[in-house]
Amino acid sequence: MTSNTIKFVHENRIVEIKNPEPNETLLNYIRIKLKKTGTKEGCAEGGCGACTVVLGELKNKNINYSAVNSCIMFLPTLQGKQLILVEDLIYKNGSLHPVQQAMVNYHSSQCGFCTPGFVMSLFSMFKNHSRFKDSIIRDSISGNLCRCTGYQPIIKAAKSLNNKNKIDHFNKNKKNIINMLEKINNQSIVIYKKDKKYFAPRYVQELKKILKKNIDSHLLSGGTDLSLKVTKERNDMNSIIYMNSINELNYIRNNNGYIEVGATTPLIKFENYIKKYYIDFANILKRYGSVQIRNVGTIAGNIATASPIGDTLPILLSLDAKVVLRSIKKTKIISLEDFFIDYRKTKLKKGQFIDSIRIPLFPKNIFKAYKISKRFDDDISSVCASFNLELKNKIIKSIKVAYGGMASIPKRAKFCEKILLNSSITEKTIIEAKEALEKDFKPISDMRASGKYRIMVAKNLLHKCFLEIEQKKLIRIDN
Ligand SMILES: Cc1cc2nc3c(=O)[nH]c(=O)nc-3n(C[C@H](O)[C@H](O)[C@H](O)COP(=O)(O)OP(=O)(O)OC[C@H]3O[C@@H](n4cnc5c(N)ncnc54)[C@H](O)[C@@H]3O)c2cc1C
Ligand code: FES
Ligand code: FES
């Protein structure tokens, strides 16, 4: 069943919008059309959290709540979801939601511009966790910036929620919302609006048919990269195919020997899964954007963007990951190493899409990854490094080293690997391997770091990796 009308739940009713504008951001809709101005615009690029709203989605007859940046979401992607704004938190009798009350009690707001965003991030935390440990609080607000109150009063407010009754009016009304979501959840969307087209297929077969006829479309997943074309570059996208309604591609499987991640799987789901296999992968993902970004962003989007500083890319290269590419007729599996051609250029052809990513498991290997960025949370890497090696009787029997931020593409350090392979870990080997990095990379200087700094950091990360192996302990500021 297809429709040109999106339906979502807001304020206890089903809202219908016929032929919505495909390039309209959710934030603009909220502020301009709904005239709800609690939700603010700070950066319009997903970086400050002022525009945070919470979406409710059906999951196994329950509602899954997630905080998102409404400035980088397009209105039609609301289809089938519940929209919760800061104005919706207040009770009918005018009393504040426990999260709002805690912010008042702990003087957590001064100018107030960031406050609705913080409230919504904390509301999402309140709904998703039963205890609010320091790490959970920090993670929950890592995508929100405050420039005047400071973070301590906000953290104190969040901690105080541990002593509050967790039942709020959203719990009491849950059944009603679930009923409404069940009614509207099963539609594929097709919108033709003047010169613009928007498709949100629900199945891969449907996607293929749409792709065949609309080969020049932009594939939109979480939109955490693509949406900036509209919000920052001020370009409209004429044809969009929204991937994240395809549940068939939202999965993580352990396929005996490798983990397969479907293209529409949100990073946050993957982060929780991968920690039992590669803890450093999960550690890097914790610092990847913010909860808002990871709630919608995908590995497939990170790979297709092919940024030299995409955080998952050096990790996946060192783990020898494969990309499953599908087109209308064919499926092709290629090594991620062969996927990147040049700066932001990949082997992805028109009519093709990323179906899944296969990540081999190396249970006997040592795996380590490091991210260096100017700011600990919600910042893009200056340098990212990843090491995957097998040690036997103190000899390195296999090794894959990959770096991000060191070249125009994320890349393996093959000269360095050559020095390390079949060597024992001695100071001399490490010094030689560090020197070899100068043959592997000639990094550029930019606003994030100078070339000189990058090469020094790359060498030091290699050194750190082997120090950690030798000393059998982690040398991390966050441990
Ligand atoms: C505030 C902020 C912080 C960020 N922090 C980080 C960070 O710390 N580390 C990092 O690496 N990145 C970061 N990013 C970048 C971005 O979040 C990632 O690149 C993300 O993985 C993109 O995934 P997405 O699903 O949102 O992709 P989208 O934005 O939807 O798409 C990105 C590109 O991939 C293509 N694409 C998407 N899905 C498919 C598919 N299935 N098949 C083929 N092509 C596809 C799109 O056409 C587009 O070209 C950040 C972005 C923002 C806005
Ligand atoms: S306005 Fe800054 S994250 Fe949306
Ligand atoms: S209260 Fe002013 S920016 Fe946070």
Report mean pLDDT in 10-residue bins for the chain, 479 residues: 94 97 98 98 97 96 97 98 98 96 98 98 97 96 96 98 92 96 90 96 97 97 97 95 97 97 98 97 97 98 97 98 96 98 97 98 97 92 98 96 98 98 97 98 95 98 97 83
Phi, psi of 356 (to 5 degrees): -165, 170
Going from the Cα of 112 to the center of ligand 3, the distance in angstroms, rounded, reads 5
Instruction: Give the CA distances from residue 61 to residues 180, 182, 362, in Å, rounded to whole numbers and listed in that order.
Output: 12, 9, 36
* Parts of the chain belonging to CATH 1.10.150.120: 98-167
Q: Evaluate: CB of 102 within 6 angstroms of ligand 1.
A: no
Helix ranges, 217-376 (H) = 228-231, 267-274, 279-286, 291-296, 299-305, 312-318, 336-339
CA dihedral sign of residues 167, 173, 179, 184: negative
Q: Evaluate: CB of 257 within 6 angstroms of ligand 3.
A: no
Helix ranges, 279-426 (H) = 279-286, 291-296, 299-305, 312-318, 336-339, 414-420
* Parts of the chain belonging to CATH 3.30.390.50: 368-471
Query: Distance between CA 152 and CA 195 in Å, rounded?
Result: 49
Per-residue confidence (pLDDT) for residue 478, from 0 to 100 = 66
Reduced to 3 states (helix: H, G, I; strand: E, B; else coil), residue 17 is: strand
43 Cα nearest atom in ligand 2: 2
Report DSSP state, residue 431: H
267 Cα nearest atom in ligand 1: 21
Q: Are strands 258-262 and 322-326 parallel, antiparallel or unpaired?
A: unpaired
Q: Evaluate: CB of 220 within 6 angstroms of ligand 1.
A: yes
With the most atoms of ligand 3 within 8 angstroms of its CB, the residue from 41, 51, 110, 141 to mutate is 110
Report DSSP state, residue 11: T
- Return the ligand number nearest the Cα of 44: 2
- Return the ligand number nearest the Cα of 113: 3
- Return the ligand number nearest the Cα of 261: 1
Q: Of the CATH numbers 1.10.150.120, 3.80.30.20, 3.30.70.20, 2.40.240.10, which one belongs to the domain with range 98-167?
A: 1.10.150.120
Q: Evaluate: CB of 388 within 6 angstroms of ligand 1.
A: no
Per-residue confidence (pLDDT) for residue 297, from 0 to 100 = 98
Residue having the nearest C-alpha atom to atom 50 of ligand 1 = 289
* Parts of the chain belonging to CATH 3.10.20.30: 2-87+174-242
Query: Distance between CA 55 and CA 66 in Å, rounded?
Result: 5
109 Cα nearest atom in ligand 3: 1
The answer to whether residues 44 and 224 touch, using CB atoms and an 8 Å cutoff, is no
Q: Evaluate: CB of 404 within 6 angstroms of ligand 1.
A: no
Going from the Cα of 437 to the center of ligand 2, the distance in angstroms, rounded, reads 38
Report DSSP state, residue 33: I
- For the CA atoms of 396, 273, 125, 311, the dihedral, rounded to the nearest 10 degrees, stands at 50
Report DSSP state, residue 25: B
Per-residue confidence (pLDDT) for residue 311, from 0 to 100 = 98
Residue 241: left if φ>0, alpha if ψ -120 to 50, beta else—which one?
beta
Q: Are strands 340-342 and 331-335 parallel, antiparallel or unpaired?
A: unpaired
Tokens of 422: 């079949």
Interacting residues of 234 by C-beta distance below 8 A, sequence separation 6+: none
Per-residue confidence (pLDDT) for residue 165, from 0 to 100 = 86
CATH class of the domain defined by 368-471: alpha beta
Per-residue confidence (pLDDT) for residue 313, from 0 to 100 = 98
Burial class (CB in 10 A: 0-12, 13-18, 19+), 349: exposed
Residue having the nearest C-alpha atom to atom 3 of ligand 2 = 46
Query: Distance between CA 334 and CA 311 in Å, rounded?
Result: 20
Tokens of 178: 């679930």
Residue having the nearest C-alpha atom to atom 2 of ligand 3 = 111
Per-residue confidence (pLDDT) for residue 451, from 0 to 100 = 97
**CATH level 2 (architecture), domain 2-87+174-242:** Roll (3.10)
Q: Evaluate: CB of 53 within 6 angstroms of ligand 1.
A: no
218 Cα nearest atom in ligand 1: 47
146 Cα nearest atom in ligand 3: 4
Per-residue confidence (pLDDT) for residue 164, from 0 to 100 = 84
- For 138, other C-beta atoms within 10 Å of its C-beta total 15
Helix ranges, 319-474 (H) = 336-339, 414-420, 427-440, 451-471
Tokens of 362: 């190396």
Query: Distance between CA 303 and CA 389 in Å, rounded?
Result: 23
Per-residue confidence (pLDDT) for residue 280, from 0 to 100 = 98
- Return the ligand number nearest the Cα of 42: 2
Question: In the block, which residue shows the tokens 């990847």?
Answer: 288
